[in-house]
Amino acid sequence: MNGLSQESDSIAEDRPTDEFQWSVNATSRSCKQFIGASGLQVNVNNPDDPLALFELFMTDELLQVVVAETNSTASQLIAQTPARPHSRLTLRTDTTVAELRVFIAIILYEGVVQKPTQDMFWTTRPLLATPYVRYIMTRDRFNLLFKCLHFSDNATLPTTLRTPAEKSFYKIKSFFDYIIGKFSSVCIPESDVAVDESLTLW
C-alpha cells in the first residue's frame, strides 16, 4: 500500500496546478429558448404501424433511384462478364421497387433471426428451415440483387476523392444525405434530449 501511495503522490505532483481556476462567484450560462414544434411534422394514418413510419424514410422516390442504379450496375456486369450458359446474370431481369422492398425485408429479417451463414435462410432441412424467406424470394435472386445493389454510378466518382474511405462513402452519399434530410424534416425531438452511446461522435 505504501508503494501505491507514493506513486499517487508523484502523479499528483506532476499534475499542472493551473488546470482549473476556482472561484467563489457563481457563473451562469445563457440557454437558447426551445421554440420548435416537437413531434411528427407529417401526417401518418397509423403512427403505431412500424411499416408506415419506415416508409416515411424509405420512400418510393428514394427506392426508384436505387432500382435504377442497381439495374444499371447489373447491365454493366453483363457487358463485362463473359457469357456462361448457367450464369445468374444471363437470366437476369430488371428489379422493381416492389422487389426491392422484399429484398430489404429479408435483410431486416436476417437481423432478427440470425444464422451462421446466409445460405441457411434458404435451407429445406426441417430442423433449420425458415420457409418464409424462400417463399418470397429465391436464394439466387437475393444473391444477385445483393451483388448488384448500388446507390450511385461508379463512373461519376469525382477525381478529387483520394482515400478508399472517401470513395466508399461517396457511393452512398446521396442515399445518406436523403435519409438525414428525412430525419430532420419528419420529426422534431423534444426540448430535452438525452444522447446515449456517447462514444459515437454526434
- Is residue 97 one of the residues assigned to a domain? yes
- Is residue 28 one of the residues assigned to a domain? no
- Is residue 6 one of the residues assigned to a domain? no
Residue-level pLDDT at 8: 45
- Is residue 84 one of the residues assigned to a domain? yes
- Give the chain's domain count: 1
CA distance 144 to 137: 11
Residue-level pLDDT at 11: 45
- Is residue 45 one of the residues assigned to a domain? no
Average pLDDT over residues 160-168: 89
Residue-level pLDDT at 62: 95
Whether 111 shows a pLDDT value over 50: the answer reads: yes
pLDDT, tens digit (0-9, with 9 covering 90-100), for 11-45: 445 555 556 677 777 666 777 888 878 888 888 88
CA 173, 113, 131, 68: dihedral to nearest 10 degrees? 0
pLDDT, tens digit (0-9, with 9 covering 90-100), for 130-149: 999 999 999 999 999 999 99
DSSP 57: T
- Is residue 175 one of the residues assigned to a domain? yes
Q: State which residues form the domain around 60.
A: 50-187
Higher pLDDT, 55 or 22: 55
